[in-house]
């Protein structure tokens, strides 16, 4: 068997590794020429994926990356792992999926299986992909086969990897499902077949909506409990000792990443076509989107206690990535925090051990470089704002040397001395 993986990013690259580990021949397809060359040279294009993972694949003779889409006619199965962002109007941007399908349709041959892994709204495989792929002149379910199997990758998570996370699989029909199950078996330990692509698409979006809503709830509770003089993190730690019926979610400076702030709005968009609003999602979106403003207000309160105004103050933001121990800044609330602080007249620097300079993004082009952390530099800031709780940071040392610490992640939980300097936000 040979598998083709289209999109060698956060999802596609670890997936390729699982197949290679399972002894399957893999062709990786990507339009990013630089990354394809890097991967073939055994180097990882992503910080949290070690070079060894990629060099093992490159050396194994079971893997080759290419930009040559003509080769799409070779593999028995094509797995699509391309981005599914939102447009500026916060509607699904399906251009990557549609363009990939257009390309596949040019080279599609009889007997091939095409599986979408990208997160999307229920109905995508049938309504968007099938007609594009059938431009090939081949019929789905008769000449070629289709399935949807969502990725549950969690970059930086040391307890799980792609192959050990149960994987939901839905087929366009029985034959498609059977083929998809057979394709994934060598790579994934536990497969969960469901009755249709729509169910699999809905399952993924429910998982991410569940996170989005629960995070919004604890973010709101953080603001409420702060007024009551209660520490929300201590409350959650206490509540999670209940052995059933409660799952801990944690507040933060806002929502980030390619999934949780975005995917629920795919469902909102789809729901509108059925004449239904998704009130929970909208409300969660409102609360999560407001969090950076709350953090800035808390920073002003903290500076006020030190008889300082935010305007003119020097603020060091720690952590640009949207979550700890990775280099991914997509949708990271840190960007908005910097912008809001600068708007209010603060002089802002940042440090992130994983991100030496701010990348150019769709909505931000900050043009900043990560500042080194030293005792002297820390002491030079009026406030140090912890936006991402990277494990590399020595929080005891940071609190010791900073004048004031605004902590949005409870990263300073274990710090015993200097607690008067810490403001939770």
Ligand X SMILES: NC(=O)c1ccc[n+]([C@@H]2O[C@H](COP(=O)([O-])OP(=O)(O)OC[C@H]3O[C@@H](n4cnc5c(N)ncnc54)[C@H](O)[C@@H]3O)[C@@H](O)[C@H]2O)c1
Q: Which is nearer to ligand X, 83 or 141 (CB)?
A: 83
CB of 410 to ligand X, least distance (A): 23
Name which of 166 and 224 has its Cβ closer to ligand X.
166
> How far apart are alpha carbons 179 and 368 in whole angstroms?
49
**Pick 205 or 425: Cβ nearer ligand X:** 205
DSSP assignments along 139-200, one per residue: PBTTTBEEEE------TT-SS--GGGS-EEEEESSHHHHHHHHHHHTTT-S-EEEES-HHHH
Q: How far apart are CA 256 and CA 331, in angstroms?
A: 5
Closest residue to ligand X: CB criterion: 9
- Residue 417 beta carbon to ligand X: minimum distance, rounded to whole angstroms: 37
Give 389's Cβ-side CA count (13 Å radius). 14
Neighbours of 235 (CB within 10 A): 14
Rounded CA separation 205/214 (Å): 14
- Pick the closer one to ligand X by CB: 6 or 406: 6
Which phi-psi region, left, alpha or beta, contains residue 125 (left: φ > 0; alpha: ψ -120 to 50)? alpha
Q: How far apart are CA 221 and CA 228, in angstroms?
A: 10
Compute the least distance from the CB of residue 226 to ligand X, in Å. 30
Give the nearer residue to ligand X in terms of CB position, either 2 or 67: 67
352/256 Cα distance (integer angstroms): 16
Shortest spacing between CB 99 and ligand X, in angstroms: 5
Sign of the dihedral through C-alpha 238, 260, 14, 49: negative
**What residues make contact with ligand X under the rule CB under 6 A?**
6-12, 29-32, 35, 81-84, 96, 99-100, 118-119, 151, 153, 155, 258-259
Mention every residue, 6+ apart, whose C-beta is less than 8 A from residue 117: 11, 12, 15, 79, 80, 81, 148, 149, 150, 151
Contacts of 155 (CB under 8 A, 6+ apart): 10, 46, 48, 326, 328
Residue 259 appears among annotated catalytic residues: yes
Long-range contacts made by residues 183-186, C-beta under 8 angstroms, separation at least 24? Answer: 183/1, 183/3, 183/76, 183/77, 183/113, 183/115, 184/149, 186/1, 186/19, 186/22, 186/23, 186/24
Give CA–CA dist 114/92, Å, rounded: 21
Contact 187, 156 (CB under 8 A): no
Of 81, 101, 197, 259, catalytic: 259
Output 29 or 145, the one with its CB closest to ligand X.
29
Q: For residues 258 and 424, which CB has a smaller minimum distance to ligand X in the complex?
A: 258
Shortest Å distance, C-beta 64 to ligand X: 15
Among left, alpha and beta (phi > 0; psi -120 to 50; other), residue 301 is: alpha
- CB of 123 or CB of 418, closer to ligand X: 123
Q: What angle do CA 25, 27, 31 make, to 5 degrees?
A: 170
> Cα separation of 397 and 134, whole Å?
61
Q: How far apart are CA 140 and CA 137, in angstroms?
A: 10
User: Looking at the annotation, which residues are catalytic?
Assistant: 259
């Amino acid at each position: 068997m040979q598998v083709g993986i289209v999109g060698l990013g956060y999802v596609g690259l670890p997936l390729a590794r699982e197949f290679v580990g399972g002894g399957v021949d893999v062709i990786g397809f990507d339009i990013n020429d630089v990354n394809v060359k890097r991967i073939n040279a055994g180097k990882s294009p992503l910080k949290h994926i070690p070079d060894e993972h990629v060099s093992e694949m490159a050396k194994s003779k079971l893997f080759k990356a290419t930009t040559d889409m003509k080769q799409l006619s070779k593999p028995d199965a094509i797995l699509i792992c391309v981005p599914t962002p939102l447009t500026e109007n916060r509607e699904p941007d399906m251009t990557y999926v549609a363009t990939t399908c257009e390309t596949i349709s040019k080279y599609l041959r009889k007997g091939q299986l095409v599986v979408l892994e990208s997160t999307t709204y229920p109905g995508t495989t049938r309504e968007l992909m099938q007609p594009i792929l059938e431009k090939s002149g081949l019929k789905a379910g008769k000449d070629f086969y289709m399935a949807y199997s969502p990725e549950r990758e969690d970059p930086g998570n040391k307890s799980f990897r792609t192959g050990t996370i149960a994987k939901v699989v839905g087929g366009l029909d029985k034959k498609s499902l059977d083929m998809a199950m057979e394709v994934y078996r060598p790579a994934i330990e536990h497969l969960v077949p469901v009755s249709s692509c729509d169910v699999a698409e809905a399952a993924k979006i429910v998982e991410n909506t569940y996170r989005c809503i629960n995070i919004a709830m604890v973010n709101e509770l953080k603001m409420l409990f702060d007024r009551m003089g209660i520490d929300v993190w201590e409350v959650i730690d206490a509540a999670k000792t209940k052995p059933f019926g409660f799952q801990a979610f944690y507040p933060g400076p806002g929502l980030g990443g390619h999934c949780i702030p975005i995917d629920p709005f795919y469902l909102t968009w789809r729901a509108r076509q059925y004449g239904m609003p998704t009130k929970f999602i909208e409300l969660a979106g409102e609360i999560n989107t407001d969090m950076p403003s709350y953090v800035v207000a808390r920073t002003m309160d903290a500076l006020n206690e030190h008889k300082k105004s935010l305007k003119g103050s020097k603020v060091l933001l720690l952590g640009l990535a949207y979550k700890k121990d990775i280099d991914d800044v997509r949708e990271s609330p840190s960007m908005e925090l910097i912008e809001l602080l600068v708007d209010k007249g603060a002089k802002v620097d940042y440090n992130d051990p994983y991100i030496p300079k701010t990348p150019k993004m769709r909505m931000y082009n900050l043009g900043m470089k990560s500042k080194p952390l030293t005792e002297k530099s820390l002491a030079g800031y009026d406030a140090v704002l912890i936006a991402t709780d990277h494990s590399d940071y020595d929080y005891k040392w940071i609190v010791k040397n900073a004048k004031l610490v605004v902590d949005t992640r409870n990263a300073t939980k274990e710090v015993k001395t200097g607690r008067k300097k810490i403001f939770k936000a």
